[in-house]
Amino acid sequence: MSVKRNVVLLFLGIALLLSCSDKQDFGQYDDLTITPTFETSIFYVKTQESIINRVTGISFFTQDFNFDAFEEDLFAERVLEGSITYELENTTSKDIEITIEFLNENGDVLDSEFFRMDAAPTALLTRVVAYGGTDKSLDILRNTSQIRLSARNLGDNTSTSGLPDAAVELRSSAKFMVRVK
């Protein structure tokens, strides 16, 4: 039995003596950061000119929408920074104003974005609103539970645009960096 044991020990000893390794630092794992950036559309609203002409008064559209995406733990607890991109297109014959308000659960306004566009023909209005760091606070998004969309017609209620399918279209997408590790 001692022969077997000695041979085993000899083999292990040789393996120990012969095996070398560059110095490893497994503590580096703590320095690993994983912060991907994801991008997707948020909401799209289209209001046709025929609707605008039907509404008397300056405000032709006001609506609160439930929007829980930013409140989800996956986002709220991990978001680091990012931006929301808005694209506003007006092919109607009226000057318009759009206000987007971010509301918390109690209906309090946390932040707002205001857009004004002349009647068609106008170029596409694009705005990128940054959040995090020195930009707007991420807490605005984390606490957003609803979005209020308000639109005002600064023109008349009778004219029609010569463009096909005339409407006011608001597009939006979000691009945010989150911490995975």
Residues in contact with another protein by CB under 8 A are 3-4, 7-8, 11-12, 15-16, 18-26, 28-29, 31-34, 36-48, 50-51, 61, 63, 65-69, 85, 87, 169, 171-173, 175, 177-178, 180
Q: Of the two residues 39 and 105, which places its CB atom closer to another protein in the complex?
A: 39
In whole angstroms, how close is the CB of 77 to another protein at the nearest point? 17
Task: For residues 172 and 177, give the distance between their C-alpha atoms in angstroms, rounded to a whole number.
Answer: 17
**179 CA to centre of own chain:** 15
Task: For residues 81 and 83, give the distance between their C-alpha atoms in angstroms, rounded to a whole number.
Answer: 7
| 42 neighbors 177 (Cβ within 8 angstroms) | no
Eight-class DSSP state of 28:
G
In whole angstroms, how close is the CB of 49 to another protein at the nearest point? 10
| 47 neighbors 61 (Cβ within 8 angstroms) | yes
Check whether the bond before 121 is cis (ω within 30° of 0): yes
First to last CA, the chain: 52
The amino acid at residue 161 is: S
